Amino acid sequence: MKRWLIVSIAANLIALAGPGTRAATAQGAAPAPPTNLTVADHPWDNGDSLDLKWELSPDDASLLNYQVFKALGQIGPVNQSPLEFELVGRVPPGTGEYQVSHVPAEIEKSVKDMESHRNLFSDPPLPEDPRKKVKLKVSYLFRVVAVAKDGAPSTSATTTEPFTPTREWFMGNRFSLSIITVIFCGAVIFWINRARKGKPIKVRKIAGLEAVDEAVGRATEMGRSILYVPGTQDINEIQTIASLAILSRVSKTAAEYDAKVEIPVARSLVMATARETVHAAYLAAGRPDAYNEDLIYYVTDEQFGYVAYLQGMMVREKPATCFYMGAFYAESLILAETGNSIGAIQIAGTAMPAQLPFFVAACDYTLIGEEFFAASAYLSGSAEELGSLKGQDVGKVMVAVLLLLGVLMATIATMADNATLQDWVTYLKEIILT
């Protein structure tokens, strides 16, 4: 404890004698500092956030901002300096709190987007910004300085004891989501069980899925092949798994009709899985001899390399039917337009909203979002799988209720200028919907 008191006093002395004081003397009067800086663990988190609070400077109205600094506390080797304070954030005047490690979701997303679009070879790695982060089981000291509009800093308010963030057993900001998850999963399981007991379930006709047999039949009549593209993503993508479920049905029909299905893939694991799926479908159709694993082959992981291959293959071999089922990006329209130009009947399905208009414009049938996920249940006709679709309806009701509630609350909060309702709307938007 004594050591920390010495550290704390030393930190304050350094702050007083530091460049900030010299700058203030040179440029004008330093503002009064903030006081009573306290630090507390952020509740219900992963132990990577701390909440700072302080009393505003008496000169708050004339400030540019408050600057928050952090320094490592005494945790490791004794010779590790605990006094290297680094800037972690700037807070506008009038605000007396700051959450260290808080990175807004939109910033986090934009960094992830930048990372995913980064050229591996030519772009430098994105700098990781460790300033705001605090780590579990590591102690920290904090300092807050008021900065005047002319840049003159005040003396600092510094925490006297190092503080260590702690981890709770549950992520508090995901509590609402966990409730929604439990209700939704419960509803799906309930309807699956209900369907198992033989209760009839009505599912509306989906034109794209009704056309599968017709499309396979057309290829058989024309004596041409069927092209099945299971997207460009790997097997850890749920759309690829949903696509393989549809492939199972397409292959079984093709085996019955003695049609040839060609499946070029962009991922090795998808190739291995698709072979198993198609093999089992041929067995189920009673045609194991007709199964040819060479028709399911790997092309390349590269998006446009894969597209170039498919385009060339389509133009040369002119398949009578093309299925595009899975996750697609920019290649969707190139594939669908090429298929259209060779006169193939085309059925597409994806859960990528940005690609749906392209498929709708260029394909004969398109499974939009949830229809694509419902395809496996629809095609199999299995009661328990159809039951899960009914469970999804419960989710839709929940969403509708939340939507109505949110719209009502937001409207009333604005009209009545009610702060409590406004808080609820913020909670709904930032916690439940995020």
Partner 1 sequence: MKRTIPLLLAMSAGFVMIVAFFIPATLTWGEKVSIWFDILASIAFILGGGNLLKVQLKKISDKTAGWGYSVITVVAFLVMLFVGLTKFGVNPNPAFPAHGHWAGQYNEIGSPFWWLYEYMFKPLQATIFAMLAFYVASAAFRAFRAKNFEAILLLVTAFIILLGRTAAGVFLTDFISADSGFQGLRLENFTGYIMDVFNTAGNRAIMIGIALGTASVSLKILLGVDRSYLGSGEE
> How many residues does this entry show for the chain?
434
Mark residues 83-122: x for contact with partner 1 by CB under 8 A, - for none: -------------------------------------xxx
* Of 2-10, 44-52, 57-65, 91-99: span binding partner 1 (CB under 8 A): 44-52
Q: How many residues bind partner 1 (CB under 8 A)?
A: 89
Minimum distance of partner 1 from residue 176's CB (angstroms): 11
d(CA 274, CA 268) in angstroms, rounded, equals 10
Shortest distance in whole angstroms from residue 54 CB to partner 1: 28
Structure token pair of residue 35:
């006081």
Q: What is the CA radius of gyration of the chain?
A: 31
Task: Please select the residue that binds partner 1; options are 23, 211, 245, 410, rule is CB under 8 A.
Answer: 245
How far apart (Å, rounded) are the C-alpha atoms in residues 367 and 356?
A: 9
Two tokens at 303?
A: 């998006």
Q: Which of 145, 212, 362, 425 binds partner 1 (CB under 8 A)?
A: 362
Residues 162-181 that bind partner 1 (CB under 8 A): 167-171, 174, 178, 181
Pairing of strands 296-298, 365-368: unpaired
Scan residues 47-86 and list those touching partner 1 (CB under 8 A): 47
DSSP state of 260: -
Of 77-85, 200-208, 214-222, 365-373, the window that binds partner 1 (rule: CB under 8 A) is 365-373
Least CB distance from residue 425 to partner 1, whole Å? Answer: 17
Least separation, in Å, of the C-beta of 97 and partner 1?
Answer: 23
Name the burial class of residue 434, with classes exposed (0-12), middle (13-18) and buried (19+) by CB atoms within 10 angstroms of its CB: exposed
Question: Where in 179-208 is the site for partner 1 (CB under 8 A)?
Answer: 181, 184-185, 188-189, 192
Question: What are the residues whose beta carbons fall under 8 Å from the beta carbon of 318, sequence distance 6 or more?
Answer: 224, 342, 343, 344
DSSP 301: S
Q: Which amino acid belongs to residue 330?
A: A
Please, which residues bridge with residue 228 across strands?
Answer: 323
Structure tokens at 261: 């299905």
What region does 127 belong to: left with phi over 0, alpha with psi -120 to 50, or beta?
Answer: beta
Q: Where are the alpha helices (DSSP H) in 159-229?
A: 175-196, 207-222
Least spacing, CB of residue 355 vs partner 1, in Å: 11
C-beta of 121 vs 417, nearer to partner 1:
121
- Rule CB under 8 A: is residue 234 a binding residue for partner 1? yes
> Alpha carbon of 255 to those of 54, 244, 280: distances in Å?
73, 16, 11
Restricting to residues 271-330, which ones interact with partner 1 according to CB under 8 A?
271-273, 276-277, 279-281, 283-284, 294, 297-305, 307-308, 312-313, 316-317, 330
Q: Does residue number 259 form part of the binding site for partner 1 (CB under 8 A)?
A: no
To partner 1, the closest distance from the beta carbon of 399 in angstroms equals: 5
- The single residue among 378, 388, 421, 428 that binds partner 1, judged by CB under 8 A, is 388
Question: From the list 91, 348, 391, 413, which residue makes contact with partner 1 (rule: CB under 8 A)?
Answer: 391
**Nearest distance in Å: CB 376, partner 1:** 6
CA distance linking residue 323 with residue 400, whole number of Å:
33
Q: Are 30 and 155 in contact (CB under 8 A)?
A: yes
Q: Cβ 65 to partner 1, closest distance in Å?
A: 32
Q: Does 213 bind partner 1 (CB under 8 A)?
A: no
